[in-house]
Chains A and B, each alone.
Chain A
Amino acid sequence: MNLLPHNKSLRSLSLRDPSGTLFEIGTQLIRQIHSPSSEDWNQIKRSPTLKKFTEKGLFVRSWEITDADISTLPPELSNKNNNATQDIYLGHEKIDFVNYPSEWAPEMLREAGLLTLDLATELSAENLGLKDATPFNVLFSGCLPVFVDVLSVEKRDPHNSLWLAYSQFSKTFVNPLLAYQHLGQPLYKTFLLSREGLTATDFYTQIPFLKKLNPSLFTKITLPAILESWSDKKLRNHPNTEKLMNPERAQFTLQFLLKNLKRSISQLNFNHKPQNTQFNNYMSGESPYSHQQFESKERLVKKWLALHSRKSILDVGCNDGHFSRIAASLGRKVVAIDSEVELISKTWSMSRISHPTLLPLVVNIANPSPASGWRNQEHRSFLDRTQGQFDCVLMLALVHHLLTTESILLQHIIELAKELTTEHVIIEWVSPLDPMFQHLKKGRDYTHLTVEVFEQQCLKHFTIIEKETLPGNTRTLYCLKKLFLS
């Protein structure tokens, strides 16, 4: 096997853990485990827990690269450090669409947290553990979380009852979930501000006195914040990170801590508050469609989705994911985005069992996730990640919202559609005469935006394969094919 096309670009994807580096070489993911961590790997790879989680699809599939194939790796990778001869190289299965916690619904962050805790609990019985516990160790493959950071697993001192990653778990899982529940702070606000999440001290300062005594916040926020402040003022040194005791008691204490965390995040109930009432749920009584209109729309979308052998679909402005589920049920991989957390929570909850290939994400297409992290290179921007990924893009009942609420010009919306797709776009034009458009325009004049103007803009970048006006004459659906000369 020739791993490497030497001419392919090599990009380092991990920057923080000194025990190894993850590289992207062309379309392949290669992880280099540096010595001495490579010696531990030989024990870790035999872990029955890792085998079990891998078989269930919850731990990333990996394989060791043989000596013969190592010689085909790019020289800059194999000479990365002086002890490279003792390094181990792993190949990893790629997740279709990379996604970050700032784009998840709270239920997804909780699911990733439960996976992390389950893994830590089961590993502890084998004297293994997780050295870090951040949601960036988890990616969603469709609706299912996959633990992808192989190097997070390490040997554990059986005498030590402390979990050093507890603080990181609290800051990046527990506190952001509690902040969503108690402060209504969405995850994108937490994680775009800091990839390290939310400290107990920062949370503590944002809640009123009585809430500090709330049983669910007292042990998770109030006490750690008070202890943190006390230790900063009173202690000269950082407290000992080892609390040694007999292994049986250490194991009992650690597992009790992990179970306590699991119970506390499992019990969280998220009372979603709609952020924007102008977006109506297709299925609710407030739907802007008549029954007849909706049936026609559904029929057309189904027909156009089935027409071509499309593999991956991006549903922009997916609402409650109705059309995303139709695409997923046709065997397509679907990424469904919407700016409303409530709708993405609903889409994830409705799809996780029945449509596992559907990945719902909280992304506002008018202000998509930016590149972030170290040198703005650690986490790629949403638009960068979409490049070349989707052969069909759905933009249903979206254009009029972008025109009015976001004040984006029509030509830019069509240009974005061209950039997002490699082949087709299924797009809905809502005329300014439509009651929903009338509601959104708030006194502004959009009468110049006729269906002819819309088609002219589309024809700059696409050919119109088929179009059909829905009953009522204010909404028209188009199936467009991208022009490759534009």
Chain B
Amino acid sequence: MLKTKYLSFEFTIALLMICFCSSDSFGYIDPSSGYILWQVLFGAVVGILFFAKRIWSFLKNFFTASKPTDSSTS
């Protein structure tokens, strides 16, 4: 559910950005609008993975940290 909400939010932002924003870059090669749009959409999907990974590490650290370790006493 969280993922679906996040996905739709990201895509909305991505599409708004695509439709209303533009900027010139300093590169000398053609970045090609199709590939830029593709990267924006790809980035939105990867964003979900990024946050999922963050939540996973947070939970992992939370449960690992709550267990006392023997190494601190040795």
Contact = CB atoms under 8 A, between A and B. Distances in A.
Interface of A: 16-18, 131-132, 161-168, 170-171, 199-201, 219, 223-232, 234-235, 237-243, 245, 249, 252-253, 256-257, 260
Contacts of A237: 21-22
A235 B46 contact: no
A132 to B, nearest CB: 5
A239 B37 contact: yes
Contacts of B50: 249, 252-253
Given A240-B22, A241-B25, A224 B38 contact: yes
B28 A166 contact: no
Interface residues of B, number: 29
Contacts of B27: 131-132, 164-165, 241
B35 A224 contact: yes
Interface in B2-41: 17-19, 21-25, 27-40
The 10 closest A-B pairs by CB, nearest first: A228-B34, A237-B22, A167-B32, A167-B35, A231-B33, A240-B21, A241-B25, A227-B34, A227-B37, A164-B31
B59 interface: no
Contact of A227 (B17, B30, B38, B53): B38
11 contacts: A161-B43, A165-B29, A165-B31, A167-B31, A232-B33, A239-B18, A239-B37, A241-B31, A242-B25, A253-B46, A253-B47
B39 A166 contact: yes
Q: DSSP class of B's interface residues: helix, strand, loop or mixed?
A: helix
Given A238-B22, A239-B18, A167 B42 contact: no
Given A132-B29, A165-B29, A227-B34, A243 B46 contact: no
A171 B34 CA distance: 12
Contacts, number: 121
B35 A170 contact: yes
A235 B33 contact: yes
Contact of B34 (A225, A234, A242): A225
Contacts of A171: 32
B49 interface: yes
A223 B30 CA distance: 18
A16 B53 CA distance: 41
B29 to A, nearest CB: 5
Given A200-B34, A231-B34, A235-B33, A243 B49 contact: no
Given A227-B35, A256-B49, 16 more contacts: A18-B28, A164-B29, A166-B35, A166-B39, A167-B32, A167-B35, A167-B36, A168-B29, A200-B34, A225-B34, A226-B34, A231-B18, A231-B37, A235-B18, A241-B36, A243-B40
A168 B30 contact: yes
Nearest to B19: A235
A16 B28 contact: yes
A210 B51 CA distance: 35
A439 B17 CA distance: 65
Contacts of B21: 237, 239-240
Given A18-B28, A162-B40, A256-B46, A227 B33 contact: yes
A257 B42 contact: yes
B4 to A, nearest CB: 20
A131 B28 CA distance: 8
Nearest to A17: B28
A99 B40 CA distance: 35
Nearest to B31: A164
Contacts of A257: 39, 42-43, 46
B17 A163 contact: no
